[in-house]
Structure 1
């Protein structure tokens, strides 16, 4: 480093001065100063003192330079010359001064500022506290300091210019599509941390993706504690469940344990999207046959606007689920029993079930 080179130069100059002083002492006829003393005592001591003397002002200069690269709150001062993607996690805060630009590539974040931040993509100013839009480029205006706070588990952000960074160090989901303001965040955390669901990819959960029947019976197997002995002894089979397929052992287990009876006519329909009422029927069968629970509680379904959409074979399960808080009617007073169930919705039902029955 440069300051080390300067230190060597300063030390050499000082050492030369010390040697000159020693030489003068000898030339003056001082009999107490011997060559042995000069080599073994005086010079080593002078060298140490000179290094300490030279280091102090250089270290102070170095510290001042480092301080200039630090924010007032101790954040590291950084610089990026391109909008290449950088990875941040939920709770991280990125500080951006006037002139810095940023691009939200994927994930969710919120910006706050004390002046003006421009959405360059749309050509408009962004209010402080607004959510950022993925794929949009932003610029921090004159006399403005902005802060971008990451709200999704993962955020990919491009930055151009100076910035500071505060690492939240908090635990977070590894997904770009689940944010702190999403109603399903707690549910996704539950099923992911419990190992019931995995992501659709390395960094996506797919909360809006429809759950199919094979996925659901797999999740229930995991909720049961993954009983390998039950799976090994299961003999149930369906015409549309190929031996060797990834879901075949899970479907075989579910049918053998009374979790599901299939779709009739020897079919299971593994890739068919499940409806909300199908989820509840299968979950009730799981709780009763697999966990041996005595399930109580019923509610009058006729009080809901779409009660007539509940199939006869699902009425008991839907009534039980509503009575025990596993599903909540919508603001329009509907149950949506025939609607397909998303991964986020199933995650919510399973979290409610676990909180209600499994502690």
Structure 2
């Protein structure tokens, strides 16, 4: 600061010399301007004026910068406060469904963790930070991080039944009218009828993955309120392809006659085999008390879908969906949720009513949870 003031002093000094010379006398030892004046009044006044000007300049720069920052803040605040955007300071997971559109603004980032989505841009393009290449349109690749360029709005359109995105910065979500499998999964989880996997994103729901036979069996046991009984069971497991963590489930279900495995004689349960829609609907019909064995079975495994429609467990639209689309954990959640409204074979009420009467679910809690779900069945 003293150096800057000294420069100001020198500049001002040249302008003041003439007037000072007229006002102050000199001598042979101190010609023109006296040294005492320079060291005293002159220096004090000049330093004061320089400090005043510097302070004024500093205040002007500060006010200009503050005004600029306030403009940026007001823009973002209006965007969020007006309901037109959401801000995340760090990458945050967002579960979305087919047809949902997410607009991501300049400077924000995104990556697709599961499912599928298409990208389109207005303005410039996004930058694929995984490769350094620009991308403006087309299908997104999972696990690749994108940054929205300057003067660009990126629109992500979900093309799978469900998807998981991770977003940083500002984005706007426009929801579609497609079936919200995510809401159904949330409801079932709250009721204790569905649990996620060990996947570290998207709540571990893995709705985008194909279900396995062991996953279907465990969910079936939860739906009939017998998971605790299965975990406490000491029944022997006749299958050789069942790992220790799920052996109690399989052993119990086999002892109860709920499953026979893929190859009973060969000792193969098919733990990690892909579960089909027909196989899971077979589980659901058994949960409702319908039999697929004995002298007069209510249905057979190969006609489970058609028979479920006849019994009022499925709608025609649901049967069409299950026979035309890839069967995913999303559909497992859908079937499980609406099976709660299906009538039991013995006429004792719905599956939900049986779970409440058996003390498996709290009726009041179930009512509150389900009242918050706005998902319509396929007609």
The aligned runs of 1:120-135 (5 Å cut-off) are 125=136, 134=142, 135=144
Alpha-carbon shift at residue 245 of structure 1 (Å): 0.9
Q: How many residues align?
A: 249
CA distance in 2, matches of 1:340, 1:124: 29
Q: What SS does the corresponding residue of 2:166 show, helix, strand or coil? A: strand
Q: 2:301 aligns with which of 314, 317, 326?
A: 314
Q: Which runs of 5+ in 2 are unaligned?
A: 1-58, 81-88, 292-296, 343-349, 353-379
CA contact (8 A) 2:235 2:248 kept: no
Distance 1:341 1:148, change over 3 A: closer
Residue equivalent to 1:303: none
CA contact 1:109–1:155 (8 Å) conserved in 2: no
| Structure 2 Cα separation of the partners of residues 71 and 148 of structure 1 | 24
Alignment RMSD (CA, Å) = 5.0
Q: Could you tell me which residue of structure 1 aligns to residue 314 of structure 2?
A: 326
Give TM-score, length-normalised by structure 2: 0.48
Describe how 1:317-356 pairs up with structure 2 within 5 A: 317-323=304-310, 324-326=312-314, 328-330=318-320, 335=323, 341-356=327-342
Change (3 A) 1:71 1:181: farther
| Higher gyration radius (CA) | 2
Work out the CA distance in 2 between the residues paired with 1:180 and 1:111: 20
In structure 1, the partner of 2:232 is 232
Quickly say closer, same or farther: Cα 1:216–1:88, change in 2 above 3 A: closer
CA shift for structure 1 position 119: 4.4
Matches of 1:206 and 1:88, distance apart in 2: 13
Richer in helix (by share): 2
2:192 aligned with 1:199: no
CA distance in 2: counterparts of 1:207 and 1:88, whole angstroms: 14
In the TM superposition, what whole-angstrom CA distance separates every residue of 1:214-249 from its partner, at most 9, and x where no partner exists? 22221122223345346535635314266x711111
Determine the C-alpha separation between the residues in 2 that align with 1:90 and 1:239: 37
* Unpaired runs of at least 5, structure 1: 1-56, 78-83, 159-163, 169-178, 291-295, 299-311
State the distance in 2 between where 1:90 and 1:281 align: 29
Q: CA 1:213/1:105 → structure 2, altered by over 3 Å: closer, same or farther?
A: closer
Deviation at 1:254, TM superposition (A): 1.4
Structure 1 counterpart of 2:91: 86
8 Å Cα contact 1:210-1:273 kept in structure 2: yes
Tell me if structure 2 keeps the 8 A contact 1:281–1:314.
Answer: yes
Structure-2 separation of matches of 1:226 and 1:197: 15
- Bigger mean CA deviation after superposition, 246-255 or 256-265: 256-265
CA–CA separation in structure 2 for the residues paired with 1:230 and 1:138: 49
- Report the equivalent of 1:284: 285
Alpha-carbon offset, residue 250 of structure 1: 0.6
